[in-house]
């Protein structure tokens, strides 16, 4: 018997606009409920076919769409088709820019809800975030082996959001070799970066900031640069390439700072110009302000402050706080490069928070660049939620 999910009257509108989620409140009835993540047909209140999806009884997002085509079967061939479409969409970018690492599949935006695949050289790293992607994991890895027979497959499904889908956290080799502790990838045609796939953040590295790291170089010639929330020093490498006279990395993670040090040597940049400070950025910035230390360029790339909508107000205070102190220690004519990766924070709101921060710091500023996530993190038009990374370069007067 086919599993069927019937919507309340009028709740089909978002699906007709091709948004891939069905919230629990929209569901009138479920017939022949499948196991967690199993396939289900999604129907209007009067029984008309809308989509095929996966059922997730534990989650507020009760189902996610695999296909709007009634004839399409969700099997290994389906995943091979979607993954090769995603790979083809990125082919030109990879060729033109000399990358050995990129996001191959970006979940909902590539028509594969809950599935992230990052590729670092010959390692495919999966993040399985939905019950549906979990249910079809064998077919997904089968499709990957078919498309990338030379590659090893590693899983980094050790993320809290999985619990919302009734899934346990997990990581490890799915196929092939164990990734080395330090895998050197190439980005933007020449910069080498060491990535720890097993232990690093996300799948090992912040691929989404790739273009923005390169964008920093042009502001740095002869300047002092402070890289807050530096992780493995990505922004600092480009600051040095842009001939900064000094670069300070601040991060709470000693492991990340240790890799940052190695990245500088690996790229034949001058370690004598670089400091590594293991400290909380909030208290570091306050101390610098008190001491009267100033910088020409400050990068702020904090972790996500708002995990949910309810945390947004508190997150705004956090963003305002660091941006205010950062602005107050920037020399006149210098630059603040500031980011928010909280999806719940809209670009408009972020700009307002930064404007308020400068006002409180008593500084004037002008936005000279609007930045966002790299193009291998696309935003499918029916799914605007995929836009999460916002960056502003503000010239401080
Ligand atoms: N800019 C980096 C990515 C930054 S990710 C890149 O381009 O690769 C955010 C970083 O902030 C992580 O490395 C994390 O260890 C660090 N972090 C989180 N909270 C912090 C805090 N309160 N003070 C200092 N570092 C923090």
The CATH number of whichever domain residue 267 belongs to comes to: 3.40.50.150
197 CA to middle of ligand 1, Å? 17
What gap in Å lies between CA 120 and CA 151, rounded to an integer?
10
pLDDT of 184 over the 90 cut: yes
Together in a domain, 240 and 349? yes
CA nearest to 102, candidates 125, 84, 79, 129: 125
Q: What is the CATH number of the domain that holds 84?
A: 3.30.750.80
177 CA to middle of ligand 1, Å? 29
Q: Whose CA is nearest to atom 21 of ligand 1?
A: 280
Digit-coded pLDDT (tens) for 292-328: 999 999 999 999 998 889 999 999 999 999 999 999 9
Q: How many domains does the chain have?
A: 3
pLDDT given at position 93? 81
pLDDT given at position 238? 98
Together in a domain, 59 and 156? no
Whether 185 is in a domain gets the answer no
54 CA to middle of ligand 1, Å? 34
pLDDT given at position 310? 93
Whether 198 is in a domain gets the answer no
Please compute the mean of the pLDDT values over residues 130-158 and round it to a whole number: 98
Digit-coded pLDDT (tens) for 327-358: 999 999 999 999 999 999 999 999 999 999 99
CA nearest to 112, candidates 126, 101, 99: 126
Whether 180 is in a domain gets the answer no
pLDDT of 96 over the 80 cut: no
Mean pLDDT of the chain: 97
22 CA to middle of ligand 1, Å? 34
Together in a domain, 347 and 211? yes
CA nearest to 338, candidates 310, 312, 318: 318
346 CA to middle of ligand 1, Å? 21
pLDDT given at position 124? 98
Q: Whose CA is nearest to atom 23 of ligand 1?
A: 280
Candidate from 196, 211, 231 with most ligand 1 atoms within 8 A of CB, to mutate: 231
Please compute the mean of the pLDDT values over residues 245-269 and round it to a whole number: 98
Whether 186 is in a domain gets the answer no
pLDDT confidence bin for 370, thresholds 50/70/90 = very high
**Tokens matching residue 295:** 């910088």
pLDDT of 1 over the 90 cut: no
Instruction: Name the more confident of 1 and 38.
Output: 38
Together in a domain, 56 and 104? no
User: Among the three residues 39, 67, 95, which one is the final residue of a domain in this structure?
Assistant: 67
Together in a domain, 92 and 63? no
Whether 168 is in a domain gets the answer yes
Whether 192 is in a domain gets the answer no
Q: Which numbered atom of ligand 1 lies nearest the CA of 209?
A: 7
pLDDT given at position 290? 98
pLDDT of 178 over the 80 cut: yes
Q: Whose CA is nearest to atom 16 of ligand 1?
A: 229
Evaluated on CA atoms 185, 188, 237, 364, the torsion sign reads negative
Together in a domain, 236 and 91? no
Q: Which residues pair with 29 in a beta bridge?
A: 6
pLDDT confidence bin for 92, thresholds 50/70/90 = confident
pLDDT confidence bin for 98, thresholds 50/70/90 = confident
Distances, alpha carbon 30 to alpha carbons 24, 43, 330, in Å: 11, 10, 58
**Tokens matching residue 167:** 């899934």
What gap in Å lies between CA 347 and CA 27, rounded to an integer?
32
User: Among the three residues 175, 197, 217, which one is the final residue of a domain in this structure?
Assistant: 175
Together in a domain, 240 and 343? yes
Digit-coded pLDDT (tens) for 43-83: 999 999 999 999 999 999 999 999 999 999 999 999 999 99
Positions marked catalytic: 341
Q: Whose CA is nearest to atom 18 of ligand 1?
A: 303
CA nearest to 304, candidates 290, 293, 314, 291: 314
Together in a domain, 20 and 155? no
Please compute the mean of the pLDDT values over residues 90-118 and round it to a whole number: 93
Q: Whose CA is nearest to atom 11 of ligand 1?
A: 229
Whether 143 is in a domain gets the answer yes
pTM for this entry:
0.97
Q: Which numbered atom of ligand 1 lies nearest the CA of 303?
A: 9
Candidate from 209, 210, 251, 285 with most ligand 1 atoms within 8 A of CB, to mutate: 251
Q: Whose CA is nearest to atom 13 of ligand 1?
A: 231
Candidate from 229, 233, 250, 260 with most ligand 1 atoms within 8 A of CB, to mutate: 229
252 CA to middle of ligand 1, Å? 7
Together in a domain, 302 and 390? yes
Together in a domain, 312 and 384? yes
Whether 374 is in a domain gets the answer yes
Q: What is the CATH number of the domain that holds 20?
A: 2.30.130.10
Which domain covers residue 142, as residue numbers?
A: 76-175
303 CA to middle of ligand 1, Å? 6
User: Residues with beta carbon inside 6 Å of ligand 1?
Assistant: 206, 209, 213, 229, 231-232, 234-235, 250-253, 256, 280-282, 301, 303
Q: Whose CA is nearest to atom 25 of ligand 1?
A: 251
Digit-coded pLDDT (tens) for 188-243: 989 999 999 999 999 999 999 999 999 999 999 999 999 999 999 999 999 999 99
User: Among the three residues 28, 44, 67, which one is the final residue of a domain in this structure?
Assistant: 67
Q: Which numbered atom of ligand 1 lies nearest the CA of 339?
A: 1
Together in a domain, 167 and 132? yes
Together in a domain, 315 and 371? yes
């Amino acid at each position: 018997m086919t599993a069927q999910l019937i919507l309340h009257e009028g709740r089909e509108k978002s699906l007709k606009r091709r948004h891939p989620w069905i919230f629990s409140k929209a569901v009138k009835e479920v017939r022949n409920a499948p196991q967690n993540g199993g396939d289900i047909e999604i129907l209007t209140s009067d029984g008309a076919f809308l989509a095929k999806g996966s059922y997730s009884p534990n989650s507020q997002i009760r189902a996610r769409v695999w296909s709007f085509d009634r004839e399409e079967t969700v099997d290994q061939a389906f995943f091979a088709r979607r993954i090769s479409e995603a790979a083809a969409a990125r082919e030109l970018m990879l060729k033109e820019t000399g990358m050995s690492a990129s996001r191959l599949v970006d979940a909902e935006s590539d028509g594969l809800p809950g599935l992230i695949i990052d590729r670092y050289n010959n390692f495919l790293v999966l993040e399985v975030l939905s019950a549906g992607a979990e249910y079809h994991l064998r077919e997904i890895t089968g499709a990957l082996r078919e498309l990338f027979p030379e590659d090893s497959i590693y899983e980094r499904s050790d993320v809290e959001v999985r619990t919302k889908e009734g899934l346990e956290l997990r990581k490890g080799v799915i196929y092939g070799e164990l990734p080395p502790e330090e895998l050197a990838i190439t980005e933007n045609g020449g910069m080498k970066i060491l990535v720890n796939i097993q232990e690093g953040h996300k799948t090992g590295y912040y691929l989404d900031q790739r273009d923005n790291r390169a964008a920093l170089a042009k502001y740095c010639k002869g300047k002092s640069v402070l890289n807050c929330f530096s992780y493995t020093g990505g922004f600092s490498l480009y600051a040095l390439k842009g001939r900064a006279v000094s670069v300070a990395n601040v991060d709470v993670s000693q492991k990340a700072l240790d890799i940052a040090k190695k990245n500088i040597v690996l790229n034949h940049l001058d370690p004598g110009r670089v400091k590594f400070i293991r400290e909380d950025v909030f208290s570091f910035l306050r101390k610098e302000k008190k001491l009267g230390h100033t910088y020409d360029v400050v990068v702020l790339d904090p972790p996500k402050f708002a995990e949910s909508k309810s945390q947004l107000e508190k997150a705004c205070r956090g963003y305002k706080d660091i941006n205010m102190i950062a602005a107050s220690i920037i020399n006149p004519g210098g630059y603040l490069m500031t980011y928010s990766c909280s999806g719940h924070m809209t670009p408009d709101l972020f700009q307002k928070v930064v404007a308020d921060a400068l006002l409180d710091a008593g500084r004037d500023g002008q936005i000279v660049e609007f930045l966002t996530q790299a193009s291998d993190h696309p935003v499918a038009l029916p799914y605007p939620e995929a836009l999460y990374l916002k960056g502003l370069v503000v010239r401080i007067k």
